[in-house]
Amino acid sequence: MDSAWLIPAFPFAGFVLNGLWGRRLSRKQVGMVACGAMALAFATALGLFWLLLRHSPDQRVWEPVYYTWMAVGDFSVNASFLLDPLTMVMVLVVTGVGFLIHIYSTGYMHDDPGYARYFAYLNLFACAMLILVLAGNLLVLFVGWEGVGLCSYLLIGFWYEKQSASDAGKKAFIVNRIGDFGFLLAIFLTFWTFGTLDFREIFHAALLRFQPGDGVVTAITLLLFVGAVGKSAQLPLYVWLPDAMEGPTPVSALIHAATMVTAGVYMVARCSVLYALAPLSMGVVAAVGCATAVFAATIGLVQNDIKRVLAYSTVSQLGYMFLGCGVGAYVAGIFHLMTHAFFKALLFLGAGSVIHALGGEQDIRRMGGLRRQLPVTFWTFLAASLAISGIVPFAGFFSKDEILFETLVTGHGVLYVLALGGAALTAFYMFRLVFRTFLGESHVDPESAHHVHEAPLSMAVPLMVLAVLSLVGGWVQVPMLENGKRLGRFLAPVFEDAEGLLTEGTAHGSHASLWTEGVFMALSVVVALAGIGLAYRWYVADPTRPERVAARFSRAYRWLLNKYYVDELYQAVVVELLKRLAETVHEWVDRAAIDAVVDGAGAFFRHAGTHLRRIQTGLVQHYALSILAGACLLILAALAV
Amino acid sequence: MDNVFFPILTAMVFTPLLGAAILVFVDRENPTLQRWVTLLAMAAVFVFALIVYGGFDPTRTGMQYEEWAPWVPALGISYHLGVDGISLLLVALTAFLGPICVLACWRDIQEHVKEFLVCLLLLQTGMLGVFLALDLVLFYLFWEVMLIPMALLILVWGHPARRVYAAVKFFLYTMAGSVFMLVGILVLYFYQAKTTGTYSFDLMDFMALRLPFRLQLWLFAAFGIAFAIKVPMFPFHTWLPDAHTEAPTVGSVVLAAVLLKMGTYGFLRFNLSLFPEASIFFAPLMVVLALAGIVYGAFMCLVQKDLKRLIAYSSVSHLGFVMLGLFTFTLQGLQGSLIQMINHGLSTGALFLLVGMIYERRHTRMIADFGGLSTPVPRLAVFFMIATLASIGLPGLNGFVGEFLILLGTFKVKPLWAAVGATGVILAAWYMLWMVQRVFFGQVQSDENRLMADLVPREVALLVPVVACMVWIGVAPTPFLKKSEPAVGRVLARVQRVQHTAHLNSTWNPECLVSWYLADRK
């Protein structure tokens, strides 16, 4: 539909209004503008969804073209959108969850002096994110891609007076730029390979021209994945995301959990045809995803900052999504993206509610026993924790299990075992968080203990809505039931070609028996319950135990607590080294070599002038002598030759 | 379209000169009137430029609005002006920045106002003349004329500490290059006289010549030195940080926005068009220097402690992109370079304007003296942020269009070059955002900073058009690109023609050099 442009236009209008006149508007008006913009975007998205559903599945593709953005010779790229079921899912998640988080923010940020600025940025983010998911070609996607990066930078560093916040924002932008470097090269290679950047044309041409395993497609997909690794915080570029927690908590929920960080997954899913043509890239995606899932989960085990635990959890869950895409289970990857948006947004907002209640405290060692004082927060947080841990019938169970199961049936046994182990870790660290925050004795410092209050309605309602979604969100894709996989059917036209390629000549997608599926499902739940059980034993039944374990394995504990010293490594090897290099070059090349030559040349002529001036004595005798000497020399020279 | 009833290009070039002449008679005690006269002259130029821009026919490749008159017929020197797609955008940029510069120095310059304004107007005449002149003597004249007011701006209104050093360095550096160009022009002239019997300095006549390869190499070098210094290309860049740092705000703006473009314009207009074979031959060297400039300039930015020096080095990096695009010999690369010249003018011009506004308030440019400025001067911070984002190539703003097209063109020729160039994009984010962080974020440390006044309406008014152009080019670059495409395509065609006929290999090895050199001699 041509009116798709309205979806990002609403938040953009909100950004302009609040950005230019926000200081003159009252808080209420600012909030109304920002939330209203998101509500309108969400309503438009729902309208388009309805229209989309009215078409038959093979006609659910719209490609509105608005104008020619850049055209030089044979290169031309349009400002165009692509609206298909995949986009629709993303748009609904972004506008829906985005709307809820805007509402929540009106409560959370209520006393902040930068209220209007905050909402302007948040609206701008929504606009950029919507452009990203609606993009009809790689370059428009890149516009959204960089746009969300900018908003992330601005919002992480929202409290710019804090050094750590502005450091974190800058780090996020630069690390993302490293990923973008790959993305840009991928765009160039795509254009010079296919002569277009338009998604549908690329995929069409790729299917005609390339066989699975062709080098060019492998190169394109690997370069694209470099971009995805940056944006979606995978190994080795994940380091910016934990630091991004310096931003206001609703920002962490919206940008660094539900939407922006999933852009990489979306991009891989969007280019599923290309990935299906590049088995090597698929393998890399799956391996990196799985490794990140486990790696980040281990760090999450011991962190004490409630938001950092959630941040590592996000990194880990994004790894699962990539694992899904990497083994060819695109639907599962997108499904997990969707459910994760619900429960992880909820976890962050719940954490925000706790932090809000405790007047800014984020250390779980100074929490505990908050269940009674914060009942809404507790119950919703619990729902989200059950969902992420993968307990039936919460949303995360269905999506994570589908990824695990697909990993297994596509023959990735090792990855399956690792991912299953990661699931146990997930359940453990999440319930460690739940128990230390809400159960047990209170370690809240007495000063703020009697200020503890449940969140206002503006914050509580989004929590409750998201809790419901964390429960029922998975029911759109139920395995083993007839007609259970509705999401899969809705998305089927998008992944048709990729899946066709993947199943070609292999036993992929061979239907494992219902019995097998049931057994592995039960195994997932058992593993998750084991994780929860262990967390209960350590943190509720015997609270002194973790310390003893930490003391016993102190070296391992320190490594985990210090996040394997990766940040320190990067700082020393990359940042400091480059700065040192720059200083040396400045000193020796710019100053000592080039400028010395330049100044030297000047000085030479000046000195030469001063000395030569002495020849100009003004005495005729001297000149006559010189002439004579010159003439003699000339004659001698002539004779010599 | 050409049939404007009066010689509009002449009017455009000499209106500032006329303004300067009028200024001479304005009361010395009335600086406000002087400023208004200057502003009016600059605005008139801008209006002329708009008329030319609007009437320009983008479908034609040749010169438009041509004006020709004999000047020194005995020597074949003529007064020949014209505009094509290559110069059109640069002329528009120059004319656009004129009034902005006058507004920018409204309060800044309080001593010798009249002389300052005269210099500014002379500079404007010189710059427009350089872009519009089609006779090489005329071109050289404007090229040199422009040097004097610029050097004076640094020398008289610069910052006392090192202004003499900076001005002399600027002047000598540029003069040294110009001398080679003058020799080159004369060689061309006499070569033409010898082979065809026509005595002419007209560019169009030179374009018709087929120069032997050997001669092309020498001439490319002679012109190239002059332009490379102006760009400035690594390693001829060291005059730039000094000149920028010591110049008054407006001087820095003009220097960055327009003067540097004369170097890149020169390469496009003369080197590529007149010496296509030599261009192909030298391309690998030029690309290596361009890439070196991109990375080297970015690295230098990381260690700068002075805002102006940092932005000056960032220019070295950005102009490296322009040079890279020119020597890819792809339409995307060349077009990207041309639009990047405009972009750099806008974004770096804006950055220098903003640094000037900060300097006016705090009388320091050292990064360490700032911190937390977002709190006292939020409006300035917003503009600074936008200019920074344009400079680091955020899509949706102008800088991205140029860098993207340049790298796209480069990738076609050699993916590795594009990869090296693209590291400049990462580094740019690093040094620019780090600078913004140190200046605008964090706690306000000193009372001087805390009491800084935010932008006044005049300052907002002069920044808004610049930002508007950044967004415009970023969102809809096609109309701009379309204006220049035929002319750029023609230059490219000249290069590509010999690329195919001569089978010039773009591998740079001494054997090729020797064999071609000797082959030509027979």
Residue B81 has phi, psi (to 5 degrees) of: -120, 155
pLDDT bin (cut points 50, 70, 90) of residue A10 is very high
* Interval A444-456 mean pLDDT: 81
Q: What's the pLDDT score for residue A525? A: 92
Shortest distance, CA A433 to any CA of chain B (angstroms): 32
Question: What pLDDT score does B1 carry?
Answer: 44
Which residues of chain A have a CB within 8 Å of the CB of B404? Answer: 70, 139, 184
Hey, is the C-beta of A177 within 8 angstroms of any chain B C-beta? yes
Residue B110 has a CB neighbour count (10 Å cut-off) of: 9
- Residue ranges covered by each domain of chain B: 8-521
Q: Would you call A635 an interface residue with chain B, using a CB distance cutoff of 8 Å?
A: no
Cross-chain Cβ contact B302/A180 below 8 Å: no
Chain B interface includes A147 (CB < 8 A): yes
Of A450, A253, A276, the C-alpha closest to A348 is A253
SS (H, E, C) B211-236: CCHHHHHHHHHHHHHHHHHHCCCCCC
Q: Are A582 and B395 within 8 A, CB to CB?
A: no
Phi, psi values for residue A544, rounded to 5°: -85, -10
Q: Tell me which chain B residue has its CA closest to the CA of residue A188.
A: B408
Cβ-Cβ contacts under 8 Å, A147 against chain B = 394-396
A588 has a chain B CB within 8 A of its CB: no
pLDDT more than 90, % of chain B: 67
CB contact under 8 A, A161 and B375: yes
Taking residues A255-284, what's their average pLDDT?
A: 94
- Name the β-bridge partners of A76: A71
Touching check for A381 and chain B: CB below 8 Å? no
Mean pLDDT, chain B, integer: 90
Cβ within 8 Å, pair B389-A72: no
Query: Looking at chain A from residue 66 to 105, which residues have their Cβ under 8 Å from any Cβ of chain B?
Result: 67-75
A78 membership: H or E segment, kind and range: strand A75-80
Residue B495 CA from chain centroid, whole number: 23
- Per-residue pLDDT tens for A307-335? 999 999 999 999 999 999 999 999 999 99
A594 at B interface, C-beta within 8 A: yes
pLDDT at B173: 86
Percent of chain A topping pLDDT 70:
98
Listed range (A350-354, B417-421, B499-503) with the worst mean pLDDT = B499-503
Distance from CA of B108 to the nearest CA of A (A): 28
Contacts with B503 (C-beta within 8 Å, 6 or more apart), sequence order: none
Instruction: Give the number of other Cβ atoms within 10 Å of residue A116's Cβ.
Output: 25
What is A163-208 written as a DSSP string?
A: HHHHHHHHHHHHHHHHHHHHHHHHHHHHHHHHS--BHHHHHHHHHH
Cβ atoms of B334 and B297 closer than 8 Å: no
The pLDDT of residue A455 is 85
Are A75 and B407 within 8 A, CB to CB?
A: no
Find the closest chain B residue to A72 by CA distance: B332
Per-residue confidence band for A550, with pLDDT thresholds at 50, 70 and 90: confident
Alpha-carbon distance of B100 to B85, in angstroms, equals 24
**pLDDT in the model for residue B4:** 55
At residue B516, the pLDDT reads: 59
* Residue A56 pLDDT exceeds 60: yes
The minimal CB distance from B441 to the residues A150, A160, A189 is found for A160
State the amino acid at position B254 in one-letter form. Answer: V
Nearest-angstrom CA–CA distance, A192 and A524:
46
pLDDT tens across B83-109, in order? 999 999 999 999 999 999 999 988 888
Give the range with max mean pLDDT: A332-336, A501-505, B242-246, B450-454. A332-336
User: Cα–Cα distances in Å, from A482 out to A238, A406, A409, A486, B245?
Assistant: 40, 19, 20, 10, 74
Q: What pLDDT was estimated at residue A120?
A: 94
DSSP single-letter state for residue A49: H
Residue B294 has pLDDT above 90, yes or no: yes
> What are the tokens at A10?
């609403």
pLDDT band, very low/low/confident/very high, at B383 (cuts 50, 70, 90): very high
What percent of chain B is predicted at pLDDT more than 70?
95
- Least CA distance to B410: which residue of chain A? A188
User: According to the model, what pLDDT value does residue A460 have?
Assistant: 92
Chain A residues touching residue B395 (CB < 8 angstroms): 139, 142-143, 146-147
For residues B246 and B504, the model is more confident at: B246
Mean pLDDT of chain A: 90
A179 to chain B, any CB pair closer than 8 A? The answer is no
pLDDT at residue number A506: 59
Which H helix or E strand runs over B72? Answer: strand B64-72
Q: pLDDT tens digit string along B25-41?
A: 888 888 889 999 999 99
First vs last C-alpha separation in chain A: 91
Distance between CA atoms of A374 and B17, rounded to whole angstroms?
A: 76
Query: What does the pLDDT average to over A423-451?
Result: 88
* Backbone angles phi and psi of B366, in degrees to 5: -75, 130
CB contact under 8 A, A73 and B481: no
Q: Does the distance separating the beta carbons of B425 and A166 come in below 8 Å?
A: no
Looking at this predicted complex, what is its ipTM?
0.90
Q: Is A75 helix (H, G, I), strand (E, B) or coil?
A: strand
Per residue in B431-483, pLDDT (tens digit) is: 999 999 999 998 888 888 888 899 999 999 999 999 999 999 999 999 999 99
Chain A partners of B335 at a C-beta cutoff of 8 Å?
A: 72-73
Q: Is the pLDDT of residue A393 over 80?
A: yes
The C-alpha atoms of residue A141 and residue A465 are separated, in whole angstroms, by 30
Nearest CA to A598 out of B169, B429, B457 is that of B169
Note which residues in 184-223 of chain A have CB less than 8 A from chain B.
184-185, 187-189, 191-192
DSSP symbol at A239? T
Question: Taking CB atoms and an 8 Å limit, are A69 and B440 in contact across chains?
Answer: no
Q: Residue B333: its chain A contacts at CB < 8 A? A: none
Alpha carbon distance A10, A426 (integer Å) = 37
Residue tagged 């001669």 (tokens):
B215
Contact across the interface for B395 and A142, Cβ inside 8 Å: yes
- Tell me the mean pLDDT in the region A585-592: 83
Q: Residue A464 has which token pair?
A: 């409750």
CB A368 within 8 A of CB A444: yes
Cβ atoms of A164 and A156 within 8 Å: the answer is no
Phi, psi of B29 (to 5 degrees): -80, 0
Closest residue by Cα to residue A179 from A214, A224, A219, A141 = A224
Six-digit token pair at A289?
């995803």
Instruction: Check the CA dihedral A314-A318-A324-A326 and report its sign.
Output: negative
The count of other CB atoms within 10 Å of the CB of residue A207 is: 16
